[in-house]
Amino acid sequence: MGPSISSNLSVHDLDKNAVETETIQSAAADQLTIGDHVLGSRLILGTGKYDSFEVMQASHKSAETQCVTIAVRRERLHDSSGRNILDFVDTSRLILLPNTAGCYDAETAIRCARMGREILTGLENPGADWVKLEVLGDSRSLLPDPIELLKATEALVKEKFQVLCYSSDDPIIARRLKDAGAASVMPAGSPIGSGLGVLNSNSLSIILDDLKRGDPDYPVIIDAGVGTASDVAEAMELGFDGVLLNTAVAAAKDPVAMAQAMALGVKAGRLAFQAGRIPKSRYGSASSPEVGVISKKPQR
Amino acid sequence: MEIIVNGDPHQIPQGTSIADLLMQFKLNPCALAIEVNQELKPRNVHRATFLSDGDVLEIVTLVGGG
């Protein structure tokens, strides 16, 4: 009996290893496609708010991200001797995603997008053809102005930009943005930099369901508001294709460690989404057999 | 003549091109973008675009952001 059991066990272990290897491989091949761009990581990080360029660079590395956002701002004309952020972004490994952060109307956001494209063209960076479009409607909440956002999206799509729209969590504006030709719709989990996480999972689920109906590969990314790794996992479990975040890593006590935690959160959430969670039930369901129990069941 | 660059007034001689101005500011044209009166001026027109009195310029580059 002894040897037979041990040989059974080893066969079982072999099967288990085969399954595990397969799962890891499929996770490795799990790429995120947005427009023409294919990313090996579903986590997009920012380049703002870090204490130093060195910490930023180490955080990008630790998250194994392949895409980072970057902002367009006035050149400092009297002090151009300062260090350049581009010296700390490994553009051989990372694609840049220029944003229109801080724009409050369609016209300014369109100008900002064109300038971002001009700079990235000069740098010969493949990110020249896309833009993270941000058109804000309020300087306290930093929530998007949906009407200006839609106007800017329509204009930039005409100019052959691949537009990734930072949007509110309203399913109707999300649909309008996709219909206008957005390469991706990126609803906020909560206000930018708030760390409040996923506040309206019902609306976000409706957005996912609606934008992916008949078009399951359409990329929908959660952008803004996440505070920690569980927020990221929660968003990925809802079915988001990726996460874009900045503050939660850059302003963490240990940004390099948080970057790794976020990467693991993305992977865990993605795997759980693909694996398919069990339905929620009001009552319990025993894991051990109900028959052969040596105790009597109470009547109620 | 006077132009406005990034919100501040600057005195420049007649016949100054965008390329001349960038030389004056010691800026590398590859890592920036320039608007004159809210119109983008791509790199290939910097030499041939001469500035006029009262022009409003934006010279922008990349900085950290989310």
Residue A57 within a domain? yes
Contact residues on chain A for B31, CB-CB shorter than 8 A: 84, 86, 119, 122-123
- Residue A27 to residues A64, A267, B28, Cα–Cα distance (Å): 14, 8, 42
Do the Cβ atoms of A201 and A164 come closer than 8 Å?
A: no
**Looking at residue A30, what is its pLDDT?**
83
d(Cα A217, Cα A35) in Å, to the nearest integer? 11
Tokens of A23: 């799962």
**Looking at residue A15, what is its pLDDT?**
53
To the nearest whole Å, the CA of B43 is away from the closest chain A CA by 8
Q: Quick check: A115 contacting B, CB < 8 Å?
A: yes
**Looking at residue A2, what is its pLDDT?**
40
Q: Quick check: B13 contacting A, CB < 8 Å?
A: no
Residue A200 within a domain? yes
d(Cα A82, Cα A84) in Å, to the nearest integer? 6
**Looking at residue A29, what is its pLDDT?**
65
Tokens of A93: 């490994």
**Looking at residue A20, what is its pLDDT?**
54
Residue A103 within a domain? yes
pLDDT over 90, % of chain B: 94
* Facing B40 at nearest CB: one of A75, A85, A114: A114
Alpha helices in A89-161 (DSSP H): 106-122, 146-158
Considering only residues B31 and A205, tell me which one the structure prediction assigns the higher pLDDT.
A205
Contact residues on chain B for A115, CB-CB shorter than 8 A: 33, 35, 40, 58, 60
DSSP class of A9: H
* Model pTM score: 0.89
Residue A293 within a domain? no
Interface contact flag, B65 A47, Cβ < 8 Å: yes
Summarised one tens digit per residue, pLDDT across range A33-56 is 999 999 999 999 999 999 999 999
Report how many domains make up chain A. 1
Task: Tell me what the pLDDT averaged over chain A comes to.
Answer: 91
d(Cα B57, Cα A74) in Å, to the nearest integer? 10
Tokens of B43: 């790199």
d(Cα A180, Cα A224) in Å, to the nearest integer? 22
Q: Check pLDDT > 90 for residue A18.
A: no
- Where residue A168 sits, what CATH number does that domain have? 3.20.20.70
Identify the CATH assignment for B2-60 out of 4.10.93.10, 3.10.20.30, 3.40.640.10, 2.130.10.30.
3.10.20.30
Q: Quick check: A65 contacting B, CB < 8 Å?
A: no
Interface contact flag, A72 B60, Cβ < 8 Å: yes
pLDDT over 70, % of chain B: 100
**Looking at residue A77, what is its pLDDT?**
80
Considering only residues A211 and A24, tell me which one the structure prediction assigns the higher pLDDT.
A211
Residue A11 within a domain? no
Give me the domain span that covers residue A267.
28-74+84-273
To the nearest whole Å, the CA of A253 is away from the closest chain B CA by 18
Interface contact flag, A69 B40, Cβ < 8 Å: no
Contact residues on chain B for A101, CB-CB shorter than 8 A: 65-66
Rounded to an integer, the average pLDDT of A199-220 is: 97
Q: Check pLDDT > 90 for residue A27.
A: no
- Residue A52 to residues A84, A223, A246, A256, A260, Cα–Cα distance (Å): 12, 23, 14, 12, 18
Contact residues on chain B for A74, CB-CB shorter than 8 A: 6-7, 58-61
d(Cα A143, Cα A245) in Å, to the nearest integer? 15
So which residues of A are the catalytic ones?
132
AA letter at A16: K
**Looking at residue A101, what is its pLDDT?**
97
**Looking at residue A117, what is its pLDDT?**
97
**Looking at residue A168, what is its pLDDT?**
96
DSSP class of A83: P
**Looking at residue A22, what is its pLDDT?**
53
d(Cα A177, Cα B38) in Å, to the nearest integer? 26
Residue ranges covered by each domain of chain B:
2-60
Rounded to an integer, the average pLDDT of A111-131 is: 95
Q: Check pLDDT > 50 for residue B47.
A: yes
**Looking at residue A79, what is its pLDDT?**
60
Summarised one tens digit per residue, pLDDT across range A52-82 is 999 999 999 999 999 999 999 999 887 656 7
Q: Check pLDDT > 80 for residue A14.
A: no
Query: In chain A, which residue's Cα lies nearest the Cα of B39?
Result: A111
User: ipTM higher than 0.90?
Assistant: yes
Contact residues on chain B for A116, CB-CB shorter than 8 A: 33, 62
pLDDT over 70, % of chain A: 89
Tokens of A17: 């290893």
How, if at all, do strands A221-223 and A242-245 pair? parallel
Residue A211 within a domain? yes
Interface contact flag, B60 A86, Cβ < 8 Å: no
Considering only residues A21 and B59, tell me which one the structure prediction assigns the higher pLDDT.
B59
